[in-house]
Amino acid sequence: MTQFSPFDTTLWHATATRAPDTGPLEGTVRTDVCVVGGGYTGMTSAIELRRRGHEVVLLEAQEAGFGGSGRNAGHCTPTFSYYSLEELRTHLGTERANRLIARQTKGADMAAEFIRDFQISCEWKQNGYFQGALSPSRMDGIRKKADSYASVGCPSTVVDAAEARRLTGSDRFFGGWLLKSGGHLNPLGYARGLARAVLQEGAQLFTRSKVSKVERQGDKWHVRTDSGEVIADKVIMATGAYTDGGWNGLEKTYRIQKVMLAATSILPEDVRAQVIPFDGTMHDGRGDIFVYKYNAEGRIVASMFPVGKRGRDLEYTRQMLMDRLRWLHPQVPGGTTWDYFWTGELDMQRHTIPRLYDLGPGALACTGLSGRGVPTGTMLGGILADWAEGTAEMDLALPVERLKAAPPYMSFAPEMMLRWYGIKDNFSARRDGVELPPHA
């Protein structure tokens, strides 16, 4: 069995609302669409399909939200991580890219609608996303990004140093970008709420039902587990980075990228009034990202990618994270500790946007969310439901490709890019004569 990071050591496992009562598939079930994978993508696909009148069975190998959906940092930032919007149009073509942009930039609003409609208890706050500029020369890029997202209707603005200080409580920023539609939540609470929504909408959800084989017999798909079988007209494989069998070669379409996450001890109320007072998602603006926000208890939850010693040496990693946090926010008390530390897996691929793969007549796979889980997984359900209903490939918001392995260089490229981003950031800071963050 494929080994993934521990699940029950996360902050979210300790604080999320309980999972709905579900159990494994037993016997034979017939349905219109069988969805494999109980993360955001699989569950929103099931909900969308039920809303359109289709019978749906959802199979999950562990429990709903076991994968990246239940252990991510909880940021809901409806943007693209690598491409600019114009580069995306060049890559996908203008019409398709505009369809994808419209969905992705509404991803947080879609999550808010699910949370409202299904009364999901998940610490949801939609106070915005702030990306800072730690050196003056970074403001040109901030302005371009803000203008680009504003041009497609997003509540996107540039803020000066004084406003950045008021929002964040930090004196380090020379300004920044505020995307007011950004949000944050308890990701496992959201996943478990979506699982309840799947059941409420009338789909069948079976957990502890690892798929061992999917094969075509006649005009039907047979999806087999150890104790049962689903016979379906169509199949959607939505297992992402936590793919573990089920379809040969699917796990080769991406490369696993680890992410590390930590949560502080609960900060006093007077400190929380000074540190991130706007209570949104914070991004320090460096390419080698440091992203953080509060949970409902008043803990700061921070995430970074492991590079070199960072992530391998736990004592060093804890100290580095605290040094970085207190460099940005010296108001954080010196006795603050990291009470939780965990890791997770991303299905990273070269273009950092999801990929759809043709698996045969009426069968599709989706992988490669590349760390954009909450808004992207939420909005993907509509795209996969469109495909299942027969929308022409040219009219989908993502192209459907043949199944193919990620290029070999993806085994080392993400870490090299992070190192390169760090070098560029450090050069920019030295050129501008500003202080470098600790451990930069």
Cα distance between residue 280 and residue 168, in whole Å: 9
Pick the CATH number of 11-73+188-252+350-406 from 3.50.50.60, 3.40.1410.10, 3.30.70.660, 3.90.1150.10: 3.50.50.60
Give 172's pLDDT tier (boundaries 50, 70, 90): very high
Residue 105 reports pLDDT greater than 70 = yes
Give 437's pLDDT tier (boundaries 50, 70, 90): very high
Give 350's pLDDT tier (boundaries 50, 70, 90): confident
Q: Does domain 129-180+266-336+407-440 have CATH number 3.30.450?
A: no
The phi-psi region of residue 156 (left if phi > 0; otherwise alpha if psi is between -120 and 50; otherwise beta) is beta
Q: Do residues 359 and 403 make contact, with C-beta atoms less than 8 angstroms apart? A: yes
Q: What's residue 82's pLDDT?
A: 84
Which DSSP string corresponds to 232-288?
EEEEEE--GGG--SSSTTGGGSSEEEEEEEEEEPPPPHHHHTTSSTT-SEEE---SS
Q: Do residues 411 and 74 make contact, with C-beta atoms less than 8 angstroms apart? A: no
Cα distance between residue 36 and residue 46, in whole Å: 10
Looking only at the bridges linking them, the beta strands covering 291-294 and 75-76 are: unpaired
- List the one residue out of 1, 2, 3, 25 whose CA is nearest residue 223: 25
Q: Do residues 247 and 367 make contact, with C-beta atoms less than 8 angstroms apart? A: no
Q: Do residues 68 and 240 make contact, with C-beta atoms less than 8 angstroms apart? A: yes
Residue 1 reports pLDDT greater than 70 = no
pLDDT digits (tens, 9 = 90+) for 386-421: 999 999 999 999 999 999 999 999 888 888 989 999
263: number of CA atoms within 13 Å, CB side? 23
Residue 3 reports pLDDT greater than 90 = no
pLDDT digits (tens, 9 = 90+) for 62-98: 999 999 999 999 999 999 988 899 999 999 999 999 9
Q: What's residue 81's pLDDT?
A: 86
* Stated length of the chain: 440
Q: Where in the chain is the domain with CATH 3.50.50.60?
A: 11-73+188-252+350-406
pLDDT digits (tens, 9 = 90+) for 279-330: 999 999 999 999 999 999 999 999 999 999 999 999 999 999 999 999 999 9
Give the torsion sign (CA, 273, 279, 285, 289): positive
Dihedrals phi, psi of 97, to nearest 5 degrees:
-60, -40
Q: Where in the chain is the domain with CATH 3.30.9?
A: 129-180+266-336+407-440
Q: 298-311 b/e with 16+ CB inside 10 Å = b?
A: ebbbbbbbbbeebb
Give 251's pLDDT tier (boundaries 50, 70, 90): very high
237: number of CA atoms within 13 Å, CB side? 35
Q: pLDDT exceeding 70 applies to what percent of the chain? A: 100
Q: Do residues 164 and 114 make contact, with C-beta atoms less than 8 angstroms apart? A: no
Q: What's residue 372's pLDDT?
A: 79
